[in-house]
Amino acid sequence: MKLHSGLPYWIVKNQLFDYYNPLRKDVSADVVIVGSGITGALAAHELCKAGLDCCVVDKRSIATGSSAASTALLQYEIDLPLHQLADKIGEENAAFAYRSCLESISDLERILKETGVNADFERVPTVFYASDAKGEDIITKEYEMRRRHNLPVDMLSKEDLKRRYGMNTYAGALTNGESAQADAYKAAVGLLEHHLGRGDLRVYTHTEIADIEEGNDGCRLISVDGHTIYCRYVVVATGFEAGRFLPENVMKLTSTYALISHPVDSRLIWPDRALIWETADPYLYMRTSSGNRIIIGGEDENFGNPKRRDRLLRKKVRKLEEKFHSLFPDIPMTAEMAWCGTFSTTDDGLPFIGPWDDGDRVYFDLGYGGNGITFSVIGAQIIRRALTGCPDRNDEIFGFKRLD
């Protein structure tokens, strides 16, 4: 299935990585990572650093799945506000999950620096604003609980938002300097290129895995063309397409829409180029690009099929434009490119990371929801620690055991 449609900005902005290397014979490795997007690339980085013999397999060209359509807002805030997540998994666990996401942004920054990958990573604030009067109550509860757990947050009144950001809305919460934005496609390609250049990673593109067979001593991955990869462990990093390898469904599919504007006069862009998102569900979100363009996303709805998703693109883009102009009436913004895609969400807004059952050799690295990149950093670390014999509290919160 096509994961996205339209014209994702990152595919236009970046030169495609022309790497073609289908699997043509049986091979072996310590770990096979299925998926070459940002999730698979981060997992490969962590496991290669740990000294494991790794290979990445993807049925597409490198990073041309969901990562090519990501808007790459890097926030420590999870789709479900902290006080709502606390109702589902307990306050301490919810705060721990938020803190893990906060740390993951700095971890990603460090990874990009140490590998020399230029992924246009930039530190920016986040403004979380109330969409309506009901949203003000969400902002107040969120502010109080974050403060109680020493998580970074400041309160913004309606007047503050109008004076500082020119926004016509209700109250808001500010996270100053802890968020970031990046180019997920450049990050994924750059990390894989880094390890290909070092000679400690093999990547097999245009190779679809038909089956994964797990035994006591290892796994066999069988490609559609009949070739086999023998390994000790498998990491499935294919987003919602991982469903075919899971014993049961753990997520729901969602269609999302995004646009990028013509370049805007830099003097008209809101201060600090903050990431912006709202309390509504589904929520509107936006960021800027390095070229003074504005990226806007949202208008999510339950996924029906790719054809219906694609047919709605023009209508959804008009709605995104209308919402933006209602919020920022003084910024002249017109869409230049637009795209839509499919992603997965969970009831608690958290990812699923780890094996389905204790002792399994197939690990899942599924950063579902709007925090896919930060979850991917966490997932890579959890799996690296697991495969090198180090326990990690994160696997209790982000693993499949929470379904019990």
Predicted confidence (pLDDT) at residue 56 exceeds the cutoff of 60: yes
Instruction: Give the pLDDT confidence of 86-133 residue by residue, as tens digits.
Output: 999 999 999 999 999 999 999 999 999 999 999 999 999 999 999 999
Predicted confidence (pLDDT) at residue 6 exceeds the cutoff of 80: no
E-strand ranges in 61-214 read 73-74, 122-129, 154-156, 172-181, 201-204, 209-214
Instruction: Give the pLDDT confidence of 121-135 residue by residue, as tens digits.
Output: 999 999 999 999 999
Instruction: Give the pLDDT confidence of 20-38 residue by residue, as tens digits.
Output: 999 999 999 999 999 999 9
Q: What is the pLDDT of residue 7?
A: 76
Q: What is the mean pLDDT of the chain?
A: 94
Predicted confidence (pLDDT) at residue 3 exceeds the cutoff of 60: no
Query: Range with the lowest mean pLDDT among 268-272, 320-324, 399-403?
Result: 399-403
In the chain the domains, ranked by start, together with CATH numbers, are: 4-70+185-250+349-403 (3.50.50.60), 123-178+252-345 (3.30.9.10)
Burial status of residue 66 (CB atoms within 10 A of its CB: 0-12, 13-18, 19 or more): buried
Name 15's Cβ contacts closer than 8 Å, sequence gap at least 6.
none
- Note if the pTM is more than 0.85: yes
Predicted confidence (pLDDT) at residue 304 exceeds the cutoff of 80: no
Phi first, then psi: give them for residue 203, nearest 5 degrees: -130, 125
Q: Is the separation of the CB atoms in 399 and 354 below 8 Å?
A: yes
Encoding tokens for residue 280? 């509504």
* % of the chain residues with pLDDT over 70: 98
Please count the other Cβ atoms lying within 10 Å of the Cβ belonging to residue 356: 18
Predicted confidence (pLDDT) at residue 395 exceeds the cutoff of 80: no
Q: Which of the four pLDDT bands, split at 50, 70 and 90, describes residue 367?
A: very high
